[in-house]
Amino acid sequence: MGILQEDVVVISQAEKPGEPAVITVNCPDKTGLGCDLCRVILLFGLSICREDAQTDGKWCYLVFWVVGKPNTRWDLLKKRLLEVCPSYFSTSEFDYYKPENQQPKPPDVFLLKFWCAYDREGLLHDVTEVLWELELTIKRVKVSTAPDGRVLDLFFITDNRELLHTKMRQEETIHYLKNVLGKALISCEIELAGAEVTACSQSFLPPAITEDMFNLELPNKHRSGFLAPNPVSVTVDNTFSPSHTLIQILCKDHKGLSYDIMRTLKDYHIQISYGRFFANRKGNCEVDLFLMQADGKKIVDPNKQNALCSRLRMELLRPVRLAVVSRGPDTELLVANPVELSGRGRPLVFHDITLALKTLNTRIFSVEIGRHMIHDREWEVYRILLDEGDGLPVSRNKIEEGVRKVLMGWE
């Protein structure tokens, strides 16, 4: 027999300020479940400070100790975690009730278009914050400033609640935007975006940028976009367990570290039978993972071991790529992150970029967000042209450092 749905995900909120909340997940297993759960936790702005996971291949038990915002919507978080958990029927004799090979329908993409009479510091972040609170996912953005100072914002978004086609949901979204934009808002409309509309958001990346930022090899020295000295140790041990490969990781903690490990394993179709993650107060992490391949066997092929370890090192050393470059006479901030094989990008990247620039009192002149296939891998690329006006308020190095700290959770 299964367990009651309310027992699949149990959240125990912290009793005292500063203590972690505890999230317990008890459900049927599937390859990539850890990645999906960590992604939801990251999307809610929470950081995992400790994690334990175990499974027998059919049923799993996971515990996350998380810290984050005091205004976390715990009931909504529980609902979103339940949505990625397999149902009891996925391990029972009633499998035939479920359609085989049924792929989820891609969410509809909507165009949120609005004009503002003028720009101000932090405007774009305030809009991004509203969309995040409304559970609207930003797929692409096009922001441009007219010669008269008016600002046109085009947000291509999807709705996690799948209600944006309704008049009530659209009115709710516009209402929240009016509250945050105030008198600056001239007009606002939401419509279903056609394929020809979303295609116009694609942009060209210069070869010099792609070669430097998207190199998949571990560099021997500091390069542009490299995330600062941060040693990562990944070792393989096939002697400790007769049936599992033990991967041990030592590294510096960063925002989404568990997600970065889990998405890499998911892309490689690797199953975690037992895992332990712990981050100490100094920001150092220890991770032990007992793994099996999709066929239930250990990873014994040296080439597969080296490929997996190299990818884990790279993903933990450079989970996002970052550079501040010249775009003609102007300054452009470039941020990129790999896309999961499932097609999902990293949560909250644009939110964190705009937050960092708001903190640095740096205005945004235009934004382009698009996806590009580079070195046989899909990347989500953010190109932010900065409004220099009378000159940047801080140096390029300060901008790069400030954005990196927020993205990595080191602020």
Q: According to the per-residue pLDDT averaged within each range, which of 37-41, 83-87, 344-348 is highest? A: 37-41
Maximum alpha-carbon separation in the chain: 70
Least trusted range by pLDDT, from 6-10, 31-35, 320-324 = 6-10
Average pLDDT for 295-304: 94
Report domain extents, the chain: 9-92+230-317, 107-194, 320-410
Q: Could you report the per-residue pLDDT of 226-265, keeping only the tens digit for each? A: 444 568 999 999 999 999 999 999 999 999 999 999 999 9
Q: pLDDT value at position 203?
A: 58
Q: Which residue has the higher pLDDT, 205 or 399?
A: 399
User: Rounded mean pLDDT of 108-126?
Assistant: 91
Q: Cα-atom radius of gyration of the chain, to the nearest Å?
A: 22
Split at pLDDT 50, 70, 90, the class of 391 is confident
Q: Which of 241, 238, 132, 237 is nearest to 177 (CA)?
A: 132
Task: Show Cβ contacts of residue 167 under 8 Å, excluding neighbours closer than 6 positions.
Answer: none
Q: State yes or no: pLDDT of 383 exceeds 70.
A: yes
Domain 320-410 of CATH type 3.40.50:
no
The DSSP call for residue 182 is G
Q: What's the mean pLDDT in 204-232? A: 60
Angle at 262 between CA 410 and CA 91, to 5 degrees: 145
Closest CA to 286 of 257, 306, 259: 257
Residue 220 has pLDDT above 80, yes or no: no
Q: Is the pLDDT of residue 71 over 60?
A: yes
DSSP-assigned beta bridge partners for residue 290 = 246, 274
Distance CA 267, CA 315 (A): 12
Q: Is the pLDDT of residue 98 over 60?
A: no
Q: How far is CA 104 from CA 38, 59, 95, 100, 108, in A?
A: 20, 23, 17, 12, 12
Selected from 3.30.70.260, 2.30.40.10, 3.40.30.10, 3.10.180.10, the CATH number assigned to the domain covering 107-194 reads 3.30.70.260
Same fold? 107-194, 320-410:
yes
Decide if pLDDT at 402 tops 60: yes
Helices (H), 216-360: 257-267, 302-317, 349-359
* Cβ-based neighbours of 216, under 8 Å, separated by 6 or more: 314, 375, 377
Count of CB atoms situated within 10 Å of the CB of 45: 17
CB 160 within 8 A of CB 135: yes
Q: What is the pLDDT of residue 74?
A: 94
Angle (nearest 5°) at CA 238 between 235 and 243: 130
Quick one: angle between helices 33-43 and 74-84, nearest 10? 160
Its CATH class, for the domain covering 9-92+230-317, is alpha beta
Is residue 143's pLDDT more than 50? Answer: yes
Report the C-alpha gap between 1 and 6 in whole angstroms.
Answer: 15
pTM here is: 0.87
